[in-house]
Amino acid sequence: MKAMVFPGQGAQFSGMGKDLHDTHDFAKARFAEASEVLGFDIADVMFNGSDEDLKQTKVTQPAIFLQSVITAEGLGDSFNPQFVAGHSLGEFSALVAAGGLDFAEGLRLVSERALAMQAACEATPSTMAAILGMEDDAVETVCSQIDGIVVAANYNCPGQLVISGEVPAVEAACEQLKEAGARRALMLPVGGAFHSPLMEPARERLALALEAANMKAPMCPIVQNVTATPETDPEVIRQNLIAQLTAPVRWTQTMQWLISEGVNDVVEVGPGKVLQGLFKKVDRGLATASATLA
């Protein structure tokens, strides 16, 4: 049984997507369409921009979405999963690839999401930190005892949980977590507290765009971040995408659910191999691969 999974922010790199653009006419057309939708030449930034250029949220999220969705489109009949899933931003890529949203509407939503998240980051000094080598419930307990806002944000794999919140609260949590036995507590170079209550203004802004979007049932269930359960109902999918901005990404639970359902073949669709590595942390015997076009 096959699952196709789509990466989130952090998978970007300078030069990404150029091979698709230069080799496939349909990809070149998608890049041109994307630049028109976004109002700037996304291909030029992806192919020629610096790493710093690509770290801009308004660029990063559409760039990863583009490479992921174009790759899925190029697979044609080979895109035949029993389930799809995506890590944070990747959930939008997965939904478009599975036919739940059309390309242009999906890209507009991703762009609006990126701009809304950036605005929320600028409104409140906030950050994230990776906690390694500690049980999830122990991390949650420490966070609950800290003054200020700090919450579990990304359950990436067993022993790796990212926390998110106000800068002083995250710093205090890191110190207490190290004292409580965490192997490492690393502040991350991010501009804000994604998947925390501090993203509430972004959630409200994205909700307006998502409520107006024309969403259809995808070709197969999408296992969503908020619940780590499969969904096909467009209205449920819509509400979970809205909730996703302030709720944690339950990727550990998503992987565990997929494996429990008999998934033994995982294909990562998009830049990088981060998700394959996370799946291997759950089941080393799992077959994993990157999607490639002929």
CATH number at residue 116: 3.40.366.10
pTM of the predicted structure, to 2 decimals? 0.95
Choosing from 68, 93, 126, 195, the catalytic residue is 195
Q: Which of 88, 93, 164, 196 is catalytic?
A: 88
Q: Reply yes or no on whether 50 is catalytic.
A: no
pLDDT in tens, 239-271: 999 999 999 999 999 999 999 999 999 999 999
Answer yes or no: do 230 and 114 share one domain: yes
What confidence score (pLDDT) does residue 191 get? 78
Q: What is the pLDDT of residues 206-235, one digit of tens each?
A: 999 999 999 999 999 999 999 999 999 999
Residue 124 predicted with pLDDT over 90 = no
Give catalytic status of residue 195 as yes or no: yes
Which residues partner with 4 through β-bridges? 84, 267
Q: Are both 73 and 204 inside the same structural domain?
A: yes
Burial (CB < 10 A; 0-12, 13-18, 19+), residue 178, is middle
Mark whether 227 and 145 lie in a shared domain.
no
- Report the number of distinct structural domains present in the chain: 2
For tokens 């192997």, the residue is 183
